[in-house]
Amino acid sequence: MITLDLRKRTISLDEILDAVDQDTVIIVRPDGKRLVLEPEDSFAQEVALLGQSEKFMAFLTERAQEQGGISLEEFERKRDEVEQQTNASDAQPAHE
């Protein structure tokens, strides 16, 4: 992995492209934010490698068996019920 730090010096686009031809490049912007630049086929290669990994595939199989949470619709329905209850109790006059 190659790191090009724009806080330390100005780097031309050609230099960045030459670097990414060699390896994955981390570009550190003047504000300190970091970007990763790599050839498009790197991702496809990584996906292919993960697909051949028995350990990773076992992890995915295990995750697929886990009980899911609630759907977005169910969450919104429950949230609306709580809001209605809260609003109803706020609207009732206080007993003295």
For the stretch 12-62, pLDDT in tens is 999 999 999 998 899 999 999 999 998 877 778 888 888 899 999 999 999
Distance from the first to the final alpha carbon of the chain? 71
Query: Is residue 21 classed as helix, strand or coil in its secondary structure?
Result: helix
Residue ranges per structural domain of the chain: 1-41, 50-89
Give pTM, 2 decimals: 0.45
Q: Under 8 Å CB-to-CB from 58, ≥6 apart: which residues?
A: none
> 22 and 2 in contact (C-beta within 8 Å)?
yes
Size of the chain in residues: 96
